[in-house]
Amino acid sequence: MPTTVSDLTLPSATTAAITTTAIPITTTTSKSMRNGMHLLNEQQQQQRSTDQNDKNEKNSLKACEEDRQFIIKYRQKYYDIRRFLQNHPGGINTLRGLNNSDMTTRFLHAPPHSDGAMYLMKEYEIKPTQLLNGTKRRHRLQESAHSELHGLDNEQQQQESLVESTENGIELLGDTLHEEDKNNNQLDESMEHLVDWSKAMLPQIWHITRHYDEWVHKPVDRPLRLFGPTYLEVFTKTPWWVVPLFWIPVICKCLWDEFSPIWHTTSLSGLTLLTAYFGAGVLFWTLLEYVLHRFVFHMKVDANKNPLLCTFHFMIHGLHHKVPFDSKRLVFPPLPGVIIASILYAPISLLLPQPRILLAGALLGYLCYDLMHYYLHYGNPSVQRTRFMYNMKRYHYQHHFAHQDMGYGISSPLWDIVFNTRIHLRKLRYTLRWR
């Protein structure tokens, strides 16, 4: 407002003139202040409303987690998805309000679910006799209220049920009695009757070679035992904290051995070169991660392959796709990690100077990958705070349950972009939460 300021600073201006000129300034300033205060109040109210909605949603999600059962009805069958809530790729908040309700209509109108997701759903099916009293009572009230509203007798209810079962061209499945096979599994359309889940799995892989590739890519949610003897089985399970506890000292030792002798003797350009070597090691790991994941972990195992190859594949990666919610088999055990690192280090040590710096960078890249992989499965990244991790969690879940032949990058989608195997995530109108 240069004109106003000029009026106030003129030496020849009278007091009256100054007063007259100042009046509109005060009025304008007051209006601006009122508008500003009004806008601030609106923003504060909007923020309070958002915070209250977030609080209500968190309370609702907490209530879901504390329920003994989380029962849904789908196509005339009942499922208890209580233990699946926090593993749901689409977030726990998208399941809010479904407890003790029929989700058939909502499910059919939702974005399409993959075959793997539909297969996994069978893990949570329960018989009506397993429902808690509250759930039974609610469903009986819903059915009786529907009958009273339309004046239906039992025969009419059955006829209407038949009509509803073919509505929209979709046949709804009725409750069926399942027989049990020799492997203690229910005989249904699943493939789990091929193995006995109460016994060690690794010896059984040898006998299902013809069906292995299809079977291993159908996820389940149940305990897995690899070996019979406990002294072998204990080495197949690794808590996530063991990985940094083992590898961080190794990385520090490699860096100390290479940097300490030349820290005070070499030039700045020499230190820069060593730092570049370290960065190259990190980048090398991201490429190695992609190559191993795509061409080794996801090699095509057809029916004519050697049973030994199927067993090897199941040990290194197949079990993770078969039981993706096994928290003790997400990170790589240190012992086989040392063996692989030694094999890769041998040619590098012959070809490059200061190979241990490159090794340290690659090990740091691996460490970040393994910890990030665990977090993508069990963490709750926020889109506001860790957008990259939020997107990578969605990205990795798409790899597990929808596009197993794409999305091989775990710590970064860099090489998926380079080699055209990137998964394009669809835009959502809402934010996913897993806790």
343 exposed, middle or buried (CB, 10 Å; 0-12, 13-18, 19+)? exposed
Q: Exposed/middle/buried for 290, CB within 10 Å: 0-12, 13-18, 19+?
A: buried
d(CA 198, CA 300): 28
- 145 pLDDT higher than 50: no
Q: Provide mean pLDDT across the span 194-218.
A: 94
**Tokens 């029929």 correspond to what residue?**
102
CA 1 – CA 7 distance, rounded (Å): 10
**Strand ranges of the sheet holding 125-126, from the earlier edge strand across to the other edge:** 101-102, 71-74, 77-80, 125-126
382, two tokens? 């926020």
With b for 16 or more beta-carbon neighbours within 10 A and e for fewer, the 178-211 pattern comes to eeeeeeebeeeeebbebbebeeebbebbeebbee
- Positive or negative, the CA dihedral 392, 397, 398, 404 is positive
Choose between 179 and 24: higher pLDDT: 24
Whole-angstrom distance, CA of residue 332 vs CA of residue 355 = 23
Output the DSSP codes for 240-300: TTHHHHHHHHHHHHHHHHHHGGGTTTS-HHHHHHHHHHHHHHHHHHHHHHHHIIIIIIT--
Q: Answer whether 380's CB lies under 8 Å from 435's CB.
A: yes
Token couple for 94: 């998208």
**Top-confidence residue, 43 or 309:** 309
CA distance readout (Å), 24 to 3, 9, 14, 36, 288: 12, 16, 17, 18, 71
Query: Could you write out the three-class secondary structure of 129-185?
Result: HHCCHHHHHHHHHHHHHHHHHHCCCHHHHHHHHHHHHCHHHCCCCCCCCCCECCCCC
Cβ-contact 201, 194 below 8 angstroms = no
Residue 167: its pLDDT value, please?
34
* pLDDT (0 to 100) of residue 323: 96
Encode pLDDT of 217-248 as tens digits: 999 999 999 999 999 999 899 999 999 999 99
Query: What average pLDDT does the chain have?
Result: 78
76 or 2, which is more confident: 76
- What's residue 110's pLDDT? 81
Domain annotation for the chain: domains and CATH numbers: 2-59 (no CATH), 71-169 (3.10.120.10), 196-418 (no CATH)
395/53: higher pLDDT: 395
Give me the pLDDT at residue 290, please: 98
Q: What is the pLDDT of residue 132?
A: 61
Write out pLDDT tens, residues 332-356.
999 989 999 999 899 988 988 889 9
Q: How confident is the model over 377-409, as pLDDT tens digits?
A: 999 999 888 999 999 999 999 999 999 999 999
